[in-house]
Every structure is written in C-alpha cells, then in structure tokens.
A and B are shown apart, each in its own frame.
Chain A
Amino acid sequence: MEYHGGTYDVIVIGAGHAGCEAALASARIGAKTLVITLNLDMIAFMPCNPSIGGPAKGIVVREIDALGGEMAKNIDKTYIQMRMLNTGKGPAVRALRAQADKVLYQREMKKTLENQENLTLLQGKVERLIVEDGVCKGVITQTGAHYYAKAVVITTGTFLRGEIIIGDIKYSSGPNNQQPSIKLSEHLEELGFELVRFKTGTPPRVNSRTIDYSKTEIQPGDEEPRAFSYETTTYITDQLPCWLTYTTEETHRIIDENLHLSPMYSGMIKGTGPRYCPSIEDKVVRFHDKPRHQIFLEPEGRETEEVYVQGLSTSLPEHIQRKLLETIPGLEKAQLMRAGYAIEYDAIVPTQLWPTLETKLVKNLYTAGQINGTSGYEEAAGQGIMAGINAAHRALGREEIILSRSDAYIGVLIDDLVTKGTNEPYRLLTSRAEYRLLLRHDNADLRLTELGYRIGLISEERYRAFLAKKEAIEREKKRLQTVIMKPTPEVQEVIRQAGGSELKDGIRAADLLRRPEMTYEHIQKLAPSDEEIAKEVAEQVEIQIKYEGYIQKSLQEVERLKKMENKKIPEDIDYDAIQGLATEARQKLKQVRPLSIAQASRISGVNPADISILLVYLEQGRIARVSNE
C-alpha cells in the first residue's frame, strides 16, 4: 500500500557506524532527520572484531570527537579495555585502541539516537529512491511508505546484495545472518551507478568457559586511565584482558589439506578481499614459511562468554573450523559458538562521489561507509559524520565542508576514495597520510574543534574550554622560550640523571627540552610555571617544542599543497578541449572531475606533464605547450 510517510530535511538509510554519525550530525546541526534501519536491535552493531581504534583509525575517532561526533564518547562509556599503542615511537603515530563491550556499545548508541532532538528512528527497508531529474527527493520502503527529504544519505554497509559463504554453502544474507538489501542494490544500478563486488570475513567465536587460558599469554589494558573523547572525565577502571596464542604447524597442515574446500580457492568467492585482513588460509598460502601466526582472544563483552578469535578469519567449512580450533593451544576444547564466514557485497565505485560524499550522478544523494568500498567501523563513522554534515548543510542551504589531507585522516580517507578509488576494501593506514606528523592523536582538537564549533556541533562551553587550552599552550611555550636554565648543581643533577651531558652555559628552557633525553616534566621540575599546567597542555608544549623542526618542514609542505588546492578547476571544464593531455589522463580527469589541481595531481594515470598542461590551460585559457627541458 503506497502512502506518504512524512517529509524531512535529511533521511539516513542504515544505522551502522556511518549511519549513526550521519544522523546525529545532521540532527544536531538542526536538520529534521529520519533514520531508517532494517533492524532497530542492530544499531551500531559490530559484526567483526569487538574493538575500536588502533593506528590511524584511533586518530579518526579523535577527529570525529573534535568535530562533535559520537563514536569516541560511546566507546568511552562501554569499553572493557583501553591501550595506547606505539608509545615507544614518535608522537605522530601514537594511537588509542579500545576493546568494546559490543552489546553495551549498541545499547548506548541506540539510547543516544533515541534521545536526540530532531531525530526520528524507524525500522524499515528502503527499496527505492525517489529521483526526479537527477535529484534525489526521498525514499520508498518495502511497505510502500514514501518519505521525502532535501537530502538522502545511504549507509548500508555490507548489506547490499550480501552473501555469506562458509565452505560450499552460500546464501543471501547481510552480516550475522541479517536480511540483506537486494532491491536497493538493483535500484542503484538502474540509476546508473557502477558497483563492485567486495569481500570480507570474520573468524569463529568460542565460549570463554571452554578456553584454557593457562596456555595463552595475557594482554592487559593500560593502567593509566585513557579516553577517546576530549570531553570524557570518568574512566572505567575495571578492565578485562585479552589473550594471545598462536597457530601451530598442525593448524597449517589442516589448512593445506583442506584448501580445496575453501571457497576462496575453489573460485566460489569472486569479490576482492582486503590484503590487510587476510583469512588464515590466505596467510598460510602466501607466507608458507611462517611457522605460526598470532591469534588474539578478545572478549565480546562483560555480559557474554563469547570470545572473538582474532587472526582466524576463515571461510572454510564449519567442520574444518572446528578441527583448526583443536590445534591451537588453549582452544583444544573450545566450544564453537558461531562459525567464521566470508561475506560478499556490493559497493559503489567511490570515484563516483564528490569530496562532499555527494554522488555525481544524483544530486542531494550522499553515500558513506562500507558502501563506498571502505572497511572498518572508524572509516565508516568518519565518512558518516562528513556525509551527515554535508547533507544537512545542503538541506539547510549552507556551505559544503571538505576536509583537506592536511586537516585530518578523515580528509585523507575521503580524498583517497573519491580521487583514486580502491581495488579492495579500503583501510586507513598511517602511511597513507603525507602529513602524519601534523595529524596526531593528541592534536585532533587543535585541528578540528574550530570547525566543529562553526558547524554547530561543538557546544559553546566546550569551545571556551578549548580556547583556554589553546591559550595556555601558547603561554607556556612562550615562557619556555624566555626562561634561561643556568648550570646550577640542581640543573646539572637532573640532566645527569636523565643521561644527558651537563650544561656549559645558560640555555633557554625550550632548547634544553629539545634534547632527546629531556622531558617537559624535567623542565617543570627545574623551572616551574606560576600557573597550573594541565596534562594535555604539557603534552602539547613538549611535542610542539621537541619536534618543531619536523613540524615546520611538514607545514611548509602543506603550504605548497594549499597553493595547489587553491588552483580550482571549474566543474564545467571540457577536458576534450585541452590539447595535449594523454588519453589515460583525459579519461581519468573526466571520470574523477577533480575540484583542484592538487586533487588532479593525485589521480593515478595523470602524470606531471598532464598537470602542467592543465595548469597552463587554466591559467592562460589556452592550449598548453610544455617543454620537457
């Protein structure tokens, strides 16, 4: 029965990690927002590993928080373990990772959505979009309801024509046996979208009571209280450990013998899987010499005995999975609760998107998350918040918001997707960021709070606290530039104890701090400030002074990038009219339609000669003649 269901500013399809952020951002900005999800009990569900954060990804969570998103706060309320990774390395690569209580995480997120002003939560299945003259005007559900909106965000994850594969069994399904979304996928094809088939997988889950932990190594959380959100003030102290064990030669032998039963190798799976998240059969085949692989046992929550067997992602038949478990120390008698599986799904080729995540094909239609070919909760959430902001801004007639590669990992992520596309489920890595020294875990607020406040996602109160922190950092930096440390016995003693060489002369405190063995704590002890210096302020002062040279170098590079970014390419440019472009470059440019020379230069297949031709064309409005000399 067709009927009019209501009119909104923004409709979000899906309530996974992308959908939740998109919906919350949109509603908080002030757009009347409707969220339609297949199953209200699966909001913010984690179908894969029960953890959030890690290198690069953890920084994304911080960025979401600085922009006024929810993921950081939600995990801070529900973690069972928190660890800072890479503490032995430089500040640019430190990253926080939490083990989540999966069930609690979902419940908290659902509560937040339910209580959000401007936000309507609805269970339903969207099968079609209402598109008129290339503009998206709403959605139609399975039950015939027509909902209208000024902007629509699709965040359907791996549900699009999802198929689960275990051994030789293959069936139509979303993750964790949820109903898949088939008609919407077909509808997107109808609209002219190019789709690709991707694949990902999960490992089996086992019952904790049946694990012999004595044969494994304990992996506890950090004792120091930590949080993702800059606003979190209370910490969960009662943490649960994870456990480490290894595969054995026996495990590998069984895999070798049963490889023909793996749908990966029988040809049953056609989708492209991610290299960074290979199945155990992949690892054994590709790195045959490696005698053992790490297996982490991660509890899925406080109120459940289910344990996630990280490292054993597989699509081998269930009975082989049981055999594999028996060969792993600690898991010999483990009860299998859920079998691992591979899932294939449709994703849209992300070069079909503008950097705002709006589709080029259909105006006012945005996509975010795994549908764009990414993997990972954090990558999804990062796109979600940006799509939500841009959809709400479109609905409310406000400006477009695009993060640059030098602003945030989220900027790197989205730019990579819309500029380069991806041949496999895309995961953020620190090496994807050119300016990672600037995109740190610790300074996400300094980078993005201003923007979050301008958009309206950061409260006045939080903004004032942020400004105060910023000023405190500057004051303290300035003080250390002026304070002179004299070679007094006390100073020499502290330096000696830190393992440094003694002062010959007076030295500015900032210069002393630059010595590798000195920390802010040392300086504070020798030349304390009159005001109380907060821990986060001290951290910034230390990092900004100690690594000033490198930071400056990166900033100079960013300057060059900004110049290229400021050379805008008009949207209606006719690449066919530019003589001299290589055919491949011309095709790529026509496909990606970059907004700036900077973006154009990152397209693979567009070489420097093409860029110079383009530049000259843009600047002089005539055909370029580029000399090679």
Chain B
Amino acid sequence: MTEFDTIAAISTPMGEGAIAIVRLSGDEAVEIADRLFRSPSGKRLKEVPTHTIHYGHIVDPKSGQIVEEVMVSVMRAPKTFTREDVVEINCHGGFVSVNRVLRLALVNGARLAEPGEFTKRAFLNGRIDLSQAEAVIDLIRAKTDRAMNVALQQMEGRLSKLIGELRQTILETLAHVEVNIDYPEYDDVEEMTPRLLKEKAQYVRGQIEKLLSTANQGKILREGLATVIIGRPNVGKSSLLNALAHENRAIVTDIPGTTRDVIEEYVNVRGVPLRLIDTAGIRETEDVVERIGVERSRQMLKRADFVLLVLNNHEPLTEEDERLFAMIEGMDAIIIVNKTDLPRRMDMERVEKLAAGRPIVTASLLHEQGIDELEKAIADLFFGGELEAGDLTYVSNSRHIALLEQAKQAVDDALSGIDAGMPVDLVQIDLRRAWELLGEIVGDTVNESLIDQLFAQFCLGK
C-alpha cells in the first residue's frame, strides 16, 4: 500500500445523468464518510462488510442538518479501483447538494482530488497499466454505450495485449540480431540478413498501421461525431432533433470555454455517438424564421464531421436547398426528405443527383415514421455495416496515437536504412526504438527483457 492521504471528488461529469457520485479513496475514506452518514437503522459505515451498499442521509455533523438522501457503497482495499479503501456516495439532488456533500467530505479530512488522480492512484498502486489507466480516463468521459464498450475492452487490456504481441515479434527479431553479434560463432541460428529483417520490419509496420487506422473511429467514439442538422426553416429540423433525442437519451451540456450560445447534445444512435452542434440554434430559430440563414449554416458546417440535411417533401426544391447541397459537397451526410405524410412536390430525381451517392431517407418525423431507417443509415455509414459489436479494438487516445505514429516512423527509418545498405546492427537501433515506443503505450520499457529473450530463444554459452 502506498501511504496516500484520502482524496475526494465528484466522479460523475457535471450535469450528466440523474445520479452524481462523490467518491472518496484512501485510508480514511470510510471513517470520513461515516462521520457524515446517518442510517435509519443506526448502523455505522465503519462496521459494515466490504462491498456493500447502504441507504441513508448525509448530515452536516456540525449543524445536524440533512443535506442529501443517498446510497453509500463501501469498498475496502485491495479489491477496489484504486486498491485503497473507497466510498462512493450516490446523490441525486442535483448540482448544489452534490457539491455540499463534497464540501462536507473535504471539511472532514479529505483532500480534493486532482484531475485523474483516482486513476493515477490505481496506476501507482499497480492496479492497472498505463494504457488501462488512460482507458479509465476515457471511460469517465465516455459519452455513449458504444464508447463505453471500447473503453471497457481497452481496460481489459486488449490494446495492451495487441501491443504486447507486436512487441514480442520485434523482441524476437532483436534477439536474433543480438545473438549474431554477441555469439558470432554460434552456428545454430540463421544469420539475420537485411532481407529477413526487412520482412520483419514490414510486418511490424503493417500491424502498427492497422492499429492506427482504428484511431479515427476511436476518437469519434470518445468525443462523438460532430453532427449538424441543416435545412430551411420549417422543414422539420426540430422534429428530427426531438426524434433523435427522445429515442436516444439526450444529454445537454454546456461546454465550458466555448461560446455561451453553442449548446451541444449527445445522442447515441445504435452505438454511434452523435454530438449535435448548435441545437439551441435550431430550437430558437424554428420560431424566428429570419435568424436561420445560410450564413449560420455555413458557420456550423465548419465544425461538423457529419451532416443531416432535412428537405420538405411537400415543397419543390428551392434555390436555398440547392445552396445547402453545395455547402455540404464532399461531406459525410444523410439527406432526409421529411413530411412524406403530405403529397410529394419534391423532385426526387434531382435530390438523388445532388445527394451524389449519399443515403436518402424518406420520413414523416412528426408521425415517427422513417426514424428506424434513419438510424440504420447512420449506423451503416459509420460502421460500414460490417463491424460487429463486441469485437472492437480502437486506439482512442491521442497519446497512444502519437506514440504509434512515432513507432511507425522508427520502423520506416529502419526500412530506409536497409534500403541504403546499412548493416543490420545499425538498422536494429531503429527497430529497437520502435519497440521502446510501443512499450511506452503500456508503460513498459524495461530493457532486461531483451537479454531474457536472448537466452530463452537460443542455446548459448561456452
């Protein structure tokens, strides 16, 4: 055990969900919580068994005033997230009372945790490796179920495992080169020729690229696909928003640091996390027709990964519709032809042409028709319709991506060294660097393993 003090923080993102959790971790976690907790039956948290949950109230010990109605989980070391004693106080009374609970914990002996400090403790206590620690941070921020899934898998060390396998391949190659150097007379092993080394390096490069290719999707899973709904006034943008939000647990957040009036909402469409931009704009401007102009759409589109363009089935294609099409040229988009309950006046041939291969969904959003088709189209677009749930390994962390990129560069250096006719033992320097960089992802760069590999792989000695 590391002799840390006890830390506390609100461990659920502000404003997300109905329940907020104040988490305490450290030697005094149970004691501090016990000072604040009153159970109807009079039981004390200090005396309850580990990994149990208890109903009661948080009471200010000084004033005796009831602050919040809570469920409190008590988990004692070592089988906890941080490997320390952990108490989680589940509150539901909103921002103000959660903050009061936290403040009481702080007043009664806990220290406010630094960002990521719970994870850091877990890491420092050997509970998780570096990539798992980062996955935990992602987990904390995960916005949708699908993202949760990826984060969970990473936590279970799937990325660690893949990286581990890749590193082992490199390690064996390195050991092979080393044995040629340190035991030049050893006859039982094939000389590692540049050609052989090139094959290995190319394989490694391919594997790194494969991991990197998942990076974009991973990032999207973590941050959500920046999505903009555009369309002329009164085509049904608001209905679309409501349909998506209603079906999919919308979360409204006020993103700090951005313009006050930009409101984003997260919705989870069949596992695809959509971050809907400027929904406030849509909600406001449905009434104020003049305010939604082409200009505003243009501004929103700058930030978008993905566009939902809404058209009115009941009206002919207007000049403004054409301008909107022009603005989203080349972008990922789905065209929604709304109001199919009303007679068609829309030139569908023209729409198909303008859609340029992008999916078109017809719907009557007001009557909840076509929503399934729309959701399917979104999922298909994102997952290519092929990815199976539960078998995803995404690199979703920018530090990992950077390290992978560096490792790829190192392997490229090795390859160009081979092409320039450099001796194998020099080329090996770059390959070794790739091995170390990959090691940084999982927090393992211990050198000794090369020597261990050398003696495990070859029968050496005099």
A294:B119 contact, CB within 8 angstroms: no
Rounded to whole angstroms, the CA-CA distance of A85 and B1 in the bound complex is 51
How many A-B pairs fall under 8 Å by CB? 127
How many A residues have CB within 8 A of the partner chain? Answer: 54
Known: A582-B2, A582-B125, A604-B446. A627 touches B426 (CB 8 A): no
* A575–chain B nearest beta-carbon distance, Å: 12
Rounded to whole angstroms, the CA-CA distance of A276 and B186 in the bound complex is 12
Q: A274-B461, A550-B422, A627-B115 are in contact. List 15 more A-B contacts (CB 8 A).
A: A55-B184, A89-B180, A90-B425, A93-B181, A93-B425, A283-B459, A293-B459, A432-B447, A437-B426, A516-B421, A579-B3, A582-B126, A583-B3, A609-B120, A626-B120
B182:A429 contact, CB within 8 angstroms: yes
Known: A290-B188, A294-B185. A625 touches B114 (CB 8 A): yes
B420:A516 contact, CB within 8 angstroms: yes
A294:B429 contact, CB within 8 angstroms: no
| Max count, chain A CB within 10 A of own CB: residue among B119, B417, B454, B459 | B459
Rounded to whole angstroms, the CA-CA distance of A93 and B192 in the bound complex is 14
Known: A89-B180, A313-B462. A550 touches B448 (CB 8 A): no
Nearest CB to that of A310 among chain B residues? B462
Can you name 15 A-B pairs with beta carbons within 8 Å? A49-B462, A90-B422, A91-B423, A429-B454, A430-B178, A430-B182, A431-B450, A437-B426, A553-B429, A579-B3, A580-B124, A582-B2, A583-B3, A627-B117, A628-B137
Task: Tell me if A265 counts as interface (CB < 8 A to partner B).
Answer: no
B181:A294 contact, CB within 8 angstroms: no
Contact of B119 among A92, A274, A430, A628 (CB under 8 A): A628
* B277–chain A nearest beta-carbon distance, Å: 25
Q: Which residues on the A side are within 8 Å of B461 (C-beta)?
A: 274-278, 283, 311, 313
Q: Which residues on the A side are within 8 Å of B454 (C-beta)?
A: 429, 431
Task: Tell me if B455 counts as interface (CB < 8 A to partner A).
Answer: yes
Task: Tell me if B264 counts as interface (CB < 8 A to partner A).
Answer: no
A431:B451 contact, CB within 8 angstroms: yes
A627:B462 contact, CB within 8 angstroms: no
Contact residues of B between 3 and 58, Cβ < 8 Å to A: 3-5
Contact of A431 among B119, B182, B446 (CB under 8 A): B182
Known: A429-B178, A604-B446. A89 touches B424 (CB 8 A): yes
Q: Which residues on the B side are within 8 Å of A627 (C-beta)?
A: 114-117, 120
**Majority secondary structure, B binding face:** loop
Rounded to whole angstroms, the CA-CA distance of A44 and B3 in the bound complex is 52
B182:A290 contact, CB within 8 angstroms: no
Known: A310-B462, A313-B462, A628-B120. A86 touches B455 (CB 8 A): no
A275:B455 contact, CB within 8 angstroms: yes
Task: Tell me if A56 counts as interface (CB < 8 A to partner B).
Answer: yes
* A162–chain B nearest beta-carbon distance, Å: 21
* A548–chain B nearest beta-carbon distance, Å: 12
- Digitize A427-445: 1 where CB-to-B-CB distance is under 8 Å, 0 elsewhere: 0011110100100000000
Q: Which residues on the A side are within 8 Å of B184 (C-beta)?
A: 55, 85-86
Rounded to whole angstroms, the CA-CA distance of A608 and B129 in the bound complex is 12
Rounded to whole angstroms, the CA-CA distance of A608 and B445 in the bound complex is 10
- Digitize A275-293: 1 where CB-to-B-CB distance is under 8 Å, 0 elsewhere: 1111000010011001001
Q: Which residues on the B side are within 8 Å of A626 (C-beta)?
A: 120
Q: Which residues on the B side are within 8 Å of A311 (C-beta)?
A: 461-462
* B294–chain A nearest beta-carbon distance, Å: 40
Q: Which residues on the A side are within 8 Å of B460 (C-beta)?
A: 275-276, 278
Q: Which residues on the B side are within 8 Å of A608 (C-beta)?
A: 443
Contact residues of B between 153 and 173, Cβ < 8 Å to A: none
Contact residues of A between 290 and 328, Cβ < 8 Å to B: 290, 293-294, 296, 310-311, 313
Task: Tell me if A335 counts as interface (CB < 8 A to partner B).
Answer: no
Q: Which residues on the B side are within 8 Å of A310 (C-beta)?
A: 462
Q: Which residues on the B side are within 8 Å of A516 (C-beta)?
A: 420-422
Contact of A55 among B3, B181, B429 (CB under 8 A): B181
Contact of B421 among A93, A276, A517 (CB under 8 A): A517
Nearest CB to that of A90 among chain B residues? B423
Q: Which residues on the A side are within 8 Å of B447 (C-beta)?
A: 432, 434
Rounded to whole angstroms, the CA-CA distance of A583 and B124 in the bound complex is 9
Task: Tell me if B295 counts as interface (CB < 8 A to partner A).
Answer: no
Task: Tell me if B388 counts as interface (CB < 8 A to partner A).
Answer: no
B426:A276 contact, CB within 8 angstroms: no
B426:A628 contact, CB within 8 angstroms: no
Contact residues of A between 584 and 605, Cβ < 8 Å to B: 604
Nearest CB to that of A613 among chain B residues? B124
| Max count, chain B CB within 10 A of own CB: residue among A86, A203, A429, A430 | A429
Known: A290-B188, A294-B186, A627-B114. A583 touches B451 (CB 8 A): no
Known: A287-B459, A604-B448, A629-B116. A550 touches B426 (CB 8 A): yes
Rounded to whole angstroms, the CA-CA distance of A75 and B185 in the bound complex is 21
* A270–chain B nearest beta-carbon distance, Å: 20
Task: Tell me if B123 counts as interface (CB < 8 A to partner A).
Answer: yes
Task: Tell me if A547 counts as interface (CB < 8 A to partner B).
Answer: yes
* B452–chain A nearest beta-carbon distance, Å: 9
Known: A516-B420, A626-B120. A90 touches B182 (CB 8 A): no
Rounded to whole angstroms, the CA-CA distance of A625 and B113 in the bound complex is 10
B422:A628 contact, CB within 8 angstroms: no
* A127–chain B nearest beta-carbon distance, Å: 34
Task: Tell me if A554 counts as interface (CB < 8 A to partner B).
Answer: yes
Task: Tell me if A179 counts as interface (CB < 8 A to partner B).
Answer: no
A55:B462 contact, CB within 8 angstroms: no
Task: Tell me if B282 counts as interface (CB < 8 A to partner A).
Answer: no
Task: Tell me if A118 counts as interface (CB < 8 A to partner B).
Answer: no
Rounded to whole angstroms, the CA-CA distance of A608 and B174 in the bound complex is 24
Q: Which residues on the B side are within 8 Å of A431 (C-beta)?
A: 174, 178, 181-182, 450-451, 454
Contact of B426 among A56, A92, A278, A287 (CB under 8 A): A92
* B48–chain A nearest beta-carbon distance, Å: 28
Task: Tell me if B133 counts as interface (CB < 8 A to partner A).
Answer: yes
* A226–chain B nearest beta-carbon distance, Å: 16
Q: Which residues on the A side are within 8 Å of B114 (C-beta)?
A: 625, 627
Known: A93-B181, A583-B2. A628 touches B123 (CB 8 A): yes
Rounded to whole angstroms, the CA-CA distance of A517 and B422 in the bound complex is 10
Nearest CB to that of A626 among chain B residues? B120
Task: Tell me if A607 counts as interface (CB < 8 A to partner B).
Answer: yes
Rounded to whole angstroms, the CA-CA distance of A583 and B121 in the bound complex is 12
Contact residues of A between 501 and 519, Cβ < 8 Å to B: 515-517
B116:A628 contact, CB within 8 angstroms: yes
Q: Which residues on the A side are within 8 Å of B265 (C-beta)?
A: none
* B81–chain A nearest beta-carbon distance, Å: 14
- Digitize A310-354: 1 where CB-to-B-CB distance is under 8 Å, 0 elsewhere: 110100000000000000000000000000000000000000000
Q: Which residues on the A side are within 8 Å of B450 (C-beta)?
A: 431
Rounded to whole angstroms, the CA-CA distance of A471 and B441 in the bound complex is 45
Rounded to whole angstroms, the CA-CA distance of A111 and B461 in the bound complex is 33
Rounded to whole angstroms, the CA-CA distance of A608 and B439 in the bound complex is 12
Nearest CB to that of B446 among chain A residues? A604
Task: Tell me if B187 counts as interface (CB < 8 A to partner A).
Answer: yes
A430:B459 contact, CB within 8 angstroms: no
Nearest CB to that of A49 among chain B residues? B462
Q: Which residues on the B side are within 8 Å of A547 (C-beta)?
A: 422, 426
Contact of A550 among B119, B182, B429, B443 (CB under 8 A): B429
* A432–chain B nearest beta-carbon distance, Å: 7
Task: Tell me if B134 counts as interface (CB < 8 A to partner A).
Answer: yes
Rounded to whole angstroms, the CA-CA distance of A547 and B174 in the bound complex is 20
| Max count, chain B CB within 10 A of own CB: residue among A431, A515, A604 | A431
Q: Which residues on the A side are within 8 Å of B423 (C-beta)?
A: 89-91
Q: Which residues on the A side are within 8 Å of B188 (C-beta)?
A: 290
* B40–chain A nearest beta-carbon distance, Å: 39
Q: Which residues on the B side are within 8 Å of A625 (C-beta)?
A: 114, 117
Q: Which residues on the A side are within 8 Å of B5 (C-beta)?
A: 579
B448:A294 contact, CB within 8 angstroms: no
* A251–chain B nearest beta-carbon distance, Å: 14
Q: Which residues on the B side are within 8 Å of A203 (C-beta)?
A: 462
- Digitize A617-629: 1 where CB-to-B-CB distance is under 8 Å, 0 elsewhere: 0000000011111
Rounded to whole angstroms, the CA-CA distance of A56 and B459 in the bound complex is 19
